[in-house]
C-alpha cells in the first residue's frame, strides 16, 4: 500500500502567519456571585446544630450499633428503608 500526498498535509499543519498579540489592560473583571439554595441553607443550619450538640449523642447506643455492624448482626429490612425514604421524600 502506498500513501501519496503526505507532504501536502504536513504543509497544512504548519503555522504560516503568527503574530504576537498585545495585552489589553482595559478589561473589566466581573464578580462571581454564589447563592446557596434553601435546602443547602437548611443543611448548613442542621449541621451546625448537630456539631453544637455533642452532649446529646448517646455513646452507649452508638457503640452497641457499631459492634452489631462489625459482627454482621445488624440487619435493616428493605421495607423500613424504603418507607423512611418515602417519608423524607428523597
Is 28 within a domain?
A: no
Whether 83 is in a domain gets the answer yes
Residue 34 covered by a domain: no
Residue 17 counted as domain residue: no
Q: How many domains does the chain have?
A: 1
Half-sphere exposure of 46 (CA within 13 A, CB side): 6
**In the chain, what is the straight-line distance between the N-terminal and C-terminal CA atoms, in Å?**
62
Under the banding of pLDDT at 50, 70 and 90, the label for residue 65 is very high
On whether residue 71 sits in a domain, the answer given is yes
Write down the pLDDT at residue 71.
Answer: 94
Q: Is residue 54 part of a domain?
A: no
**Which domain, by its residues, includes 65?**
60-90
pLDDT at 46: 85
Is residue 37 one of the residues assigned to a domain? Answer: no
pTM above 0.75, yes or no: no
Residue 14 lies in a domain: no
Residue 61 clears pLDDT 80, i.e. is over it: yes
Mapping DSSP to helix (H, G, I), strand (E, B) and coil, where does residue 64 land? helix
Amino acid at each position: 500500500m502506498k500513501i501519496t500526498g503526505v507532504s501536502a498535509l504536513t504543509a497544512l499543519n504548519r503555522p504560516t502567519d503568527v503574530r504576537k498579540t498585545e495585552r489589553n489592560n482595559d478589561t473589566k473583571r466581573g464578580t462571581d456571585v454564589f447563592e446557596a439554595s434553601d435546602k443547602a441553607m437548611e443543611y448548613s443550619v442542621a449541621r451546625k446544630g448537630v456539631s453544637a450538640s455533642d452532649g446529646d449523642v448517646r455513646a452507649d447506643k452508638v457503640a452497641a450499633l457499631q459492634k452489631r455492624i462489625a459482627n454482621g448482626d445488624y440487619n435493616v429490612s428493605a421495607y423500613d428503608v424504603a418507607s423512611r425514604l418515602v417519608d423524607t421524600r428523597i
